[in-house]
Amino acid sequence: MLGALFDAEPAKAPRQGDAACHVTAFHFGKFLLCQTYIDAGRFARTRTRALQDDLDHLVVHLILRGGMCFGLEAGPIRLRAMDMALCDLSRDTVVGCRRVEAISLIFPRTELELHDRFSGFEHGQHLPRATPAAIVLASHLIALGELARGLGDNEAAALSGITRDMVLTCFGLGRRAPRETPHGAPVPAPSRRARHYIERHLQRPELGPADLERDLGISRTQLYRQFSRFGGVGNYIRQRRLRHGYAQICDPLSAHRRIGEIAYAVGFSDEAYFSRAFHQAFGLSPRAARAHSKERAGPSDASTDPASLAHWVRDLV
């Protein structure tokens, strides 16, 4: 899992019987919950790595035991047991840790950023353990980790939204005036700006390259270059609509919604076309996907499959 996010440099050879790194992860739909033990190590994430893997996620870390140090542009932040911090994977970060046990939540940026309460959050924001916001959020995350395997689908879906709202609220309460850095905040790459715009306007059936050119000032040549690996802007928009449609169809809290209603909500103007595209993308119809999701019990667990963990990280909606 860590290899999907960071370039790792072990700080020392683990002793016999030590587990250098162990991750248990659960997929809650809106985010991943990871329970991690790291014997010792140094992990780096650079802007170059961010451009290469194109991940645009935010990570909330809760340190349960041990210590962790975040090396940021504005200086190091040292975390002890029950401290919390916010990490932006699009920014330079160096993490050093020893005998660390932690709970981490990995959110796609848009899951937090599209809410008004997100305004002003910053990379490296720290919630000290003695503050009410940290105490409340830490208690919730510890309980969520302990209960994850036994949750039913409806419970997991409901707690997913509650957890997101608690993160927004508690980090909002702990927010201070942004710290100045020598170089200021980096300007998002054109591809990231374009993807954020697309996420905000997916529900518009007419959304296309011309909207991005006009509203973001990005040339058609830039768009072609940035989205070529997705098969073009139009194909990327279609993929995102299908991923959002899949998530909503399989969400127990949306079980009462018609397939057509969901199709229109994610930007498809024709339910039949949505169903054909859905089957082509996922290998089953929207109704079959909904029926299959009802057979699962609680959040998916990928604790023994590193390939699934990496896939989950890349595919967070």
Domain residue ranges of the chain, discontinuous segments joined by +: 2-177, 190-295
Better pLDDT: 142 or 54: 142
Decide if pLDDT at 146 tops 60. yes
Could you give phi then psi for residue 123, rounded to 5 degrees?
-60, 125
Three-state SS string across the chain, please?
CHHHCCEEECCCCCCCCCCCEEEEEEECCCCEEEEEEEEEEEEEECHHHHHHHCCCEEEEEEEEEEEEEEEECCEEEEECCCCEEEEECCCCEEEEEEEEEEEEEEEEHHHHHCCHHHCCCCCCCEECCCCHHHHHHHHHHHHHHHHHHHCCHHHHHHHHHHHHHHHHHHHHHCCCCCCCCCCCCCCCCHHHHHHHHHHHHCCCCCCCHHHHHHHHCCCHHHHHHHHHHHCCHHHHHHHHHHHHHHHHHCCHHHCCCCHHHHHHHCCCCCHHHHHHHHHHHHCCCHHHHHHHHHHCCCCEECCCCHHHHHHHHHHCC
**Does this model's pTM top 0.95?**
no
pLDDT, tens digit, 9 for 90 and up, residues 286-317: 999 998 877 765 677 766 565 667 778 877 76
Instruction: Name the amino acid, one letter, at 194.
Output: A
Pair 124, 70: CB distance under 8 Å: yes
Instruction: Give yes or no for a contact between 230 and 253, defined as CB atoms under 8 angstroms apart.
Output: no
> For 24-49, what is the mean pLDDT?
87
Q: Range with the lowest mean pLDDT among 24-33, 99-108, 111-120?
A: 111-120
**Calpha distance 166→141 (Å, rounded):** 10
Tokens describing residue 288:
């079959």
Domains 2-177 and 190-295 share a fold: no
- Going from the C-alpha of 172 to that of each of 5, 189, 298, the distances in angstroms are 25, 26, 29
Nearest to 259 by CA among 295, 283, 285, 292: 285
The yes or no reply on domain 190-295 and CATH 1.10.10.60 is yes
Pairing of strands 300-301, 21-27: antiparallel
pLDDT of 297 reads 58
pLDDT of residue 141: 97
- Across 95-110, average pLDDT: 90
CATH class of 2-177: mainly beta
- Segment 130-156 shows an average pLDDT of 92
- pLDDT at residue 34, as a whole number: 93
Environment class of residue 146 by beta-carbon count within 10 Å: exposed (0-12), middle (13-18) or buried (19+)? exposed
What's the rounded Cα separation, in Å, for the pair 230 and 37? 35
